């Protein structure tokens, strides 16, 4: 990558150096193989976990890295520039650890969090459903009191790490209609009645497993309820603010990779006796791409710094997610255009970048939802 970073500490610089070493030495050489075989790279996540990278924003007392979000997001960006599916998986795992950390009891944190952030386990976040979609407050999966526990019935859709996760945050209806009737529960992957379905056949991110999860009478102990009953929607929305920053950082990493590849190609590819980078049409396109990537990076860092300072950041997270993912779609599309016909074949990674960019505009809240969040912050 061609990025010069202003980091808050020398230790953060050392961390970025370690991440680049792992990303270049272990991830980048393997991405094409795993994507071609559509295989989930579980061992790569174990490597990142053993390197201390799967719990970066969580406190050391729970096995985390105690890093500010500003640093964690730049780690995600570095990894996304080499292998988006890995970075997206890291973001989802970090999101999956959040409910227990932010809303769990002291006993729940002591019991669960160290294993979650320690690197060996992988988490998933079960909020979306096929019918509710962006209207998460209308979800239909239900958790009913049954003796000393909750029995869950329903189906969750588009679950990253579905079928490969070790634990699932499950948002289910324990009360009446609307957001106030939703609660959050923690389920182990081996819970009887928890049934992952066949992986979806996706346009991109072929090495990321996405699947429906069917809950058929899955029984969870009462102590797996995270926070009081009825605050699940609050937990979900709070977690998504952080998750949107993670997706923004992933989008910037992907866009940076596309920009770097397009610049290198334009320097080497000659037409009419000179490199195509010297033609104004190409040069201006690259200039716009670079400007958009830099602006997207500034937006997610601003949101992260507000979060680190304990200040409200929900609108900034929505702005960052909206702009960064739209930027990734534009920049990857333009990178294909710079390469011309070569960009349309899989010999070059830009065609994969373009396919991968599309989903970034959809998950963690579609970009239409981000515009709604931003508009409401302005008018309420």
The three-class DSSP label of residue 182 is: strand
Strand partners, 186: 169
Q: Which of 378, 269, 256 is nearest to 328 (CA)?
A: 256
- Quote the CA–CA distance of 63 and 115 in Å, as a whole number: 8
364 is catalytic: yes
Backbone angles phi, psi at 167, to 5 degrees: -150, 155
Tokens of 120: 């060996």
- State the residue for tokens 């969870």: 220
- Quote the CA–CA distance of 35 and 12 in Å, as a whole number: 30
- State the residue for tokens 């016909």: 341
- Quote the CA–CA distance of 272 and 282 in Å, as a whole number: 14
Q: Which of 286, 256, 263 is nearest to 357 (CA)?
A: 256
- Quote the CA–CA distance of 217 and 230 in Å, as a whole number: 20
Tokens of 322: 């909206």
Q: Which of 333, 339, 326 is nearest to 262 (CA)?
A: 339
Catalytic residues: 364
């Amino acid at each position: 990558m061609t990025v010069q970073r202003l980091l808050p500490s020398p230790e953060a610089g050392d961390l970025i150096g370690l991440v680049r070493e792992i990303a270049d030495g272990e991830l980048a050489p393997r991405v094409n193989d795993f994507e071609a075989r559509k295989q989930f790279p579980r061992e790569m996540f174990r490597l990142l976990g053993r390197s201390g990278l799967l719990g970066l924003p969580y406190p050391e007392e729970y096995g985390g890295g105690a890093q500010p979000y500003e640093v964690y997001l730049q780690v995600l960006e570095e990894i996304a520039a080499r292998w988006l599916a890995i970075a997206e998986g890291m973001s989802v795992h970090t999101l999956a650890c959040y409910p227990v950390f932010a809303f769990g009891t002291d006993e729940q944190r002591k019991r669960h969090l160290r294993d979650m952030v320690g690197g060996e386990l992988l988490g998933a976040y079960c909020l979306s459903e096929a019918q509710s979609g962006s209207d998460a407050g209308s979800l239909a999966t239900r958790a009913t009191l049954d003796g000393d526990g909750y029995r869950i019935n329903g189906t969750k859709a588009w679950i990253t790490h579905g079928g490969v996760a070790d634990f699932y945050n499950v948002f289910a209806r324990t009360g009446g209609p609307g957001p106030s009737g939703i609660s959050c529960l923690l389920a182990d992957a081996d819970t009887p009645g928890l049934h992952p379905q066949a992986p979806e056949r996706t346009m991109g991110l072929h090495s990321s497993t996405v699947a429906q999860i069917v809950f058929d009478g899955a029984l969870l102990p009462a102590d797996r309820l995270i926070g009081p009953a009825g605050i699940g929607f609050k937990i979900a929305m709070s977690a998504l603010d952080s998750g949107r920053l993670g997706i923004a950082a992933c989008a910037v990493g992907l866009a940076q990779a596309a920009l770097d590849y397009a610049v290198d190609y334009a320097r080497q590819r000659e037409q009419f006796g000179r490199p195509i980078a010297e033609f104004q049409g190409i040069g201006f396109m690259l200039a716009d791409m670079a400007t958009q990537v830099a602006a997207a990076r500034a937006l997610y860092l601003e949101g992260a710094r507000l979060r680190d300072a304990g200040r409200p950041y929900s609108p900034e997270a929505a702005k960052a997610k909206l702009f960064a993912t739209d930027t990734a779609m534009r920049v990857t599309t333009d990178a294909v255009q710079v390469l011309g016909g070569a960009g349309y074949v899989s010999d070059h990674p830009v065609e994969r970048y373009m396919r991968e960019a599309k989903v970034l505009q959809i998950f963690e809240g579609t970009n239409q939802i981000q515009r709604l969040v931003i508009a409401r912050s302005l008018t309420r």
